[in-house]
Chains A and B, each alone.
Chain A
Amino acid sequence: MRLFGIKAGVCALVVSTSIVVHAADNSATVESQPQRDIAIALAKFESHKGNQDAALLALEQASVIYPSDDNSDRLVFKADLLVSAGRFEDARGLFGQLMGQKSKAMKLMQEIALPLAELNFANGDCSKALRLLKVKKNKTIEQRQQSFFIRATCLVASEEMNLQQLTDLDQQMQDFLSEVDRSEITLWSAYGYYNLALSALNAGMITEAGSFFEKVFQYIDSAALADVRTVEEGRALRERALLTVAGAYFASSQYGLAMEYYALLSIDGYWNDKALLGYGWAAFNNFQRGLALESWRQLAYLPNKSMSVYEGLLAIPFALEKANAYSRALVAYDGAIEEFDIALAQIESLKQSLSVDDIRHHALEYFDSRGRSIKPLHPLLGYTYTQPKFSASIKRIGEVVSTQKKLEAQKSELGVLAQISGWKRGVSTVQTSALESQVNKRLKGFFAEIVNLREVMISEAVEEGRVDKEFLGKYNRYLSLRRISTASSGVGSDRLAKLQGVLFWQMLEQSDYPRERLTALNELLSLHDRLLKRVEGLKEIVTVVDRDRPEVAELAVLQQRIDRLNVENRKVAAAEEQYLLGLTVAALDEFVVVLDSYQKQARVAGARLREEFYQIGGRRL
């Protein structure tokens, strides 16, 4: 592919890092205890399915349920999850903790080098990112490709980039990819070569840029074959690359080739407006004015009026003028002036009416769209909202609102748990009391039976004269006390039972009581003891269960935490929405400046054309 002769003012592609999951380190053996951390394993199940939030939650919960003496592996895994989820600030804090563990520094460094490199790269610190990439050994195939992307992007940003660096990086990558199976090639390689191509264009290294662009298209196809999920992303990258190539051809005055590449772009793709405008200019400069006009007319009829469309409105009358179609050119100038009037009025109206609520609603639509196109607040803002400052603000608003929703869900969950806790406690207390009272009653009844039996045995011994006078006296005193107790509804019955017990054993010592009757009594007593022990044991369990149940106070503390977070959340949301509103209004003001300038150009050109036509003998138009 022949390429460009003039250095174009090109810039590199910014790509947010996609999720990278490292290969498993642990393996289970058949016979012995698996060498794995259960908290990490539970989180890994979720993270490998792309559920980063669920993975983080699983890791946090399992770390509490299955505590570990050495948390460093868990911290490393968590840091990796946070980086994958784009939560760089959280990851940064965690890395700080990890680096403080000097005794494990070397091992940890290997684990965290790549996510730390991603973090530094995302924050624009290429020198740290590149150092960390060198530290990480034994990278997987995907990690190698991702490292290549980081290195290529840092090269674009570098002021000291030279041909040797480009060719060295290219050669290393080619040597590596030539040994890799096609099914393992990812879009990282395509993105990396895209940025290498831009570096080359920037440096005026045209031939190299051409060969890099060829590799971009080649690796986009390979990645799409390997993983069908990358097809859409690959298509977007392809369109971008085609637009860049076409623009570079145009800048080097190779208009025919520029037209060819503009024509490859999809008519309903994201860049269709720039493609139509660019194609028109390439055709115009290639002396194919009919094609230029046709392209710009299509541009004018696009449903979303971007700045390219307004430029096209100026280009149409210009081309008509060149083709000596003066009256049509004037009509087109007048038409363009009207369109600019409408656009300026719309922007003014939007600026007047735009509120924080509109901004919030719109930001959430963007946040939830996940790359699907949505109707912008104003057609001109369609591209603006994809710029880093805007997308970062939208992301923050989205995160704050989704946190808000989670807090609301947690609040209602807490309400349900409070109900369950209250219900269970209520049920438990009632059930326990009823059960306890039943059992106690039966035990008392059982013991009363034993006391009766002892009573019978004593009175038998007395009747049979097997006891002495002293015993008889004590027994009679016991009987009168018993009569009094019975008369006063059993008061002191426990003491009486003890007295009776003492009398019974004294009676046994004195008399030769039939052994078989004693056996029966002993069995009853033993049974009673066993029952009592069981009841005491059950009481203990119930007490333990009641004690271990979460108290209402714990629920109240959690409720307070939710309320506090809600307040903080609202404050941050308000600040962020105000910021985005400010950015939006500033962007609209910039559009007003540009459209105003176009309108002035159209007025001046129209007035000039009328005057010139009149001067050469034509009627006043």
Chain B
Amino acid sequence: MVNYKNKILAAFQCFLVCLLPQFSIAEESVEQNALDTQVQQLRKEALDLQRDIGLLEKELLFPPLTRVEVYLSVAPGLEYSLRSVVLEIDGEERSFHIYSDTDMAALKVGGVQSFWEGNVALGVHQLIATFKGADVKGRPLGGEAKVEFKKGKSGLALELQLLAGKNKKTPKFAVKSWGER
């Protein structure tokens, strides 16, 4: 009886060790390290490939002659919640975006959003960006930014900016050109 009890308790002690969370630095074999390296290498090459295909796609679908890129940024510390932005070029709606809290948080830490990329003919055009949002107290607050731009032979990049005024509570809406490239 006693022996059996000891065995049961010994089995339980084994359980106790197994029960408690184990900390083990994985002792992988040399073979596993090599596989690990290979997998990482494959992932890197796949990423490089994805990058190159993306660039090729960009060149094909949006050649520099007609390419216009629009980006969006928010000044850090701006106390404004952007809800949506609508982009029009020559009176035609080209894109819109609705912003979640995550999107806003990403913009406020210095992130820049790739808002729209498309084709525009050579010549002079008008861009209007309509912003809608809310101030710190939740009251609707919006605005517009307009710019007339000339599309030349090279690709053009524009940035929709939500700038902070002195009190950082009221945004200023602007469009900045990065020039042609």
Contact = CB atoms under 8 A, between A and B. Distances in A.
A41 B26 contact: no
Contact of B106 (A49, A240, A549, A601): A49
Interface string A48-59: 111001001110
Interface string B32-56: 1001111110111111111111111
B107 A45 contact: yes
A170 B16 CA distance: 27
B23 A157 contact: yes
Contact of A27 (B47, B110, B111): B110
Given A23-B109, A34-B73, A565-B46, A11 B20 contact: yes
Contact of B15 (A157, A308, A558): A308
Interface residues of A, number: 97
A614 to B, nearest CB: 16
B65 interface: yes
A8 B16 contact: yes
B110 A36 contact: yes
Contacts of A420: 60-61
Given A244-B20, A572-B39, A389 B110 contact: no
Given A44-B111, A48-B106, A417 B60 contact: yes
A569 B8 contact: no
A274 B19 CA distance: 7
A410 B53 contact: yes
B145 interface: no
Contact of A30 (B36, B114, B172): B172
A24 B43 contact: no
Contacts of A11: 20-24
A318 B37 CA distance: 51
Contact of B12 (A281, A421, A555, A568): A281
B20 A9 contact: yes
Given A12-B23, A14-B22, A27-B76, A407 B15 contact: no
Nearest to A45: B111
Nearest to A201: B20
Given A318-B8, A550-B56, A572-B35, A49 B110 contact: no
B63 A545 contact: yes
18 contacts: A8-B20, A14-B21, A28-B75, A28-B110, A42-B111, A42-B113, A45-B106, A57-B47, A61-B51, A90-B43, A90-B44, A157-B25, A278-B19, A314-B11, A410-B46, A417-B53, A417-B57, A550-B56
Interface of A: 8-14, 21, 23-28, 30, 34, 36, 38, 41-42, 44-46, 48-50, 53, 56-58, 60-61, 64-65, 87, 89-90, 123-124, 153, 156-157, 198, 240, 243-244, 247, 250-251, 274, 277-278, 281, 307-308, 311, 314-315, 318, 387-389, 392-393, 396, 399-400, 403, 406-407, 410, 413-414, 417, 420-421, 424, 541, 545, 548-550, 554-555, 558, 561-562, 565, 568-569, 572, 575-576, 579, 601, 605, 608
